[in-house]
Amino acid sequence: MKPRIVVYTTKKTNRLVYIISTIFEERLGCELIITRDKREFLEVDGVRLNYSSESIEQIAQILPSPLLFENRIRDIEVVVNDDSEIPWLFANPRCSYGFDPIAACFYLLSRYEEYLPYRKDEHGRFASSSSLLGRHQADTKPLVDIYIGQLGKLLNLESINDRTVKPSFKLEVTVDIDQLFMYRSKGIARSILGAIADLLRNRTSLMTRFDVIMGYKKDPLDIYDFIIQRCKRQGIRPKFFVQVGETSRFDINNPIHLPNVIQRLNEIASDADVGIHPSYYSSEKHDILESEIERLSSALGAVILLSRQHYLRFRIPTTFRKLEEHGIREDFSMGFPDKNGFRAGTSIPFKFYDLERDEPTHLTIHPLVFMDVLAIRNNATYDEALNEMLALQTIVRENGGTFNSTWHPETLIGLGVNYPSMDLLTNLVDEGKH
């Protein structure tokens, strides 16, 4: 049977209910009671936690930050204690626990800091340097997962739970298909322009283009069957996010109406999950998002439930609102655009909380931990990239999280990068499950 946790508070808000439920029901597997009645708190059987400034003898207490008792968004000072290896957010020397882990978890999961003004990168994104975690060198630590594990131990929940408190480690392989083929099915105009560019710059590429178009060679990017079969050996069902938008400076996908494109996507969808990879401008123009979801749905003859933003461009909360309105139930965009790590301080999926509307949503956020492009861009050698991947995988495993990895066909085959990422993927899949 589940352990019961009884939480006493002097004020019950949407923020408090969301994060307390996330921590104790979803993560720690408890039956939860939140009460403002002190008599009920003391009489009901269960593990007790006093989340108030009132002193109750012999009861575990965390002095609360005001954050969870508000419904406004404001520029707040987050006091951080960096004295130990794991920094404490919302540090409070008056609290016997040293800080408020509940408020810290809410601050990170809600992406509170992304509602406030911050310095955007060249693509209008929230980079690790803008984050509280980045400024305290904690963006490669899943602080939310660590804090929740510490709470479980503080309240001795592990000894009375009939199942492991810590979730089991999971490996997730996802692939961004920015263009399904490099040479095939580009449309007549784009194929001619591409051939002219090859003629002027790269004769070898021109010969390869000709051989692929004539059917003598397989398209270099068509490595999808290899990825699927490699994952299948380890019981992993990969996810592919497909670009179907209009061509732009940042969008080079194959036209979705072409028969070869439709056929290949349906072949992939027979052995993997397929979601939408909304185009570069979709986070600003929401009518584009709707039409792209409809295109992919029509091509596959299926409802589209999964999404990851191209270039990881999204705006909180508007992009996530629009995704949910158009039927998306799970999004995989929550990662830094410049560094591998933990943008929301966690590796475990969670429900998005809309701070402006002050309510949780039905959209599940799957944190992105590792992307091959970033590993190669930030590490001069393969061994350095491998060590980064293994270090992140180790800390995710230690905290029972999901190692959500993202790969790109161009990077896997070594196009435009110092070294290909294929060996990283095979190492992760073949060794990472064990």
Q: What is the pLDDT of residues 321-333, one digit of tens each?
A: 999 999 999 999 9
Q: What is the pLDDT of residues 18-60, one digit of tens each?
A: 999 999 999 999 999 999 999 999 999 999 999 999 999 889 9
Any idea what DSSP says for residue 251?
B
Q: What is the DSSP track for 25-71?
A: IIIT--EEEEES-HHHHHHS-SEEEE-SSS--TTSEE-PPPGGGG--
Q: Dump pLDDT digits (tens) for 194-230.
A: 545 555 566 566 566 656 676 778 899 999 999 999 9
DSSP 188: H
Angle between helices 224-233 and 259-269 (to 10 degrees): 0
pLDDT at 433: 60
Is the previous residue joined to 317 through a cis bond, with omega within 30 degrees of 0?
yes
Percent of the chain with pLDDT over 90: 81
Residue 87, classed as helix, strand or coil, is coil
* Mean pLDDT, all residues of the chain: 92
Q: What is the pTM of this model?
A: 0.93
Helices 422-432 & 224-233 angle (0-180, nearest 10) = 20
Delimit the domains of the chain by residue range. Answer: 4-154, 170-182+219-333+368-432, 184-218
* pLDDT tens string 327-357: 999 999 999 999 999 999 999 999 999 999 9
pLDDT of residue 195: 47
pLDDT for res 96:
84
Return the pLDDT at 317. 97
Give the mean pLDDT of 216-245: 95
**Which pLDDT belongs to residue 1?**
73
User: Is the pLDDT reported for residue 398 higher than 50?
Assistant: yes
Average pLDDT over residues 286-308: 96
Q: What is the percent of the chain with per-residue pLDDT over 70, rounded to a whole number?
A: 90
Residue 189 has pLDDT above 80, yes or no: no
Q: With a cut of 60, say whether residue 279 has pLDDT above it.
A: yes
Say how many residues make up the chain. 434
Mean pLDDT of the 97-119 span: 97
- In this predicted structure, the answer to whether residue 248 has a pLDDT above a threshold of 70 is yes
Please provide the CATH number assigned to the domain covering 170-182+219-333+368-432: 3.20.20.370
* pLDDT number for residue 95: 87
Q: Which of 185-189, 195-199, 245-249 has the highest mean pLDDT?
A: 245-249
What pLDDT, on a 0 to 100 scale, did the predictor assign at position 157? 83
Mean pLDDT score, 259-287: 95
pLDDT in tens, 360-387: 999 999 999 999 999 999 999 999 999 9
In what side-by-side order are the strands of the sheet with 31-35? 31-35, 4-8, 47-50, 60-61
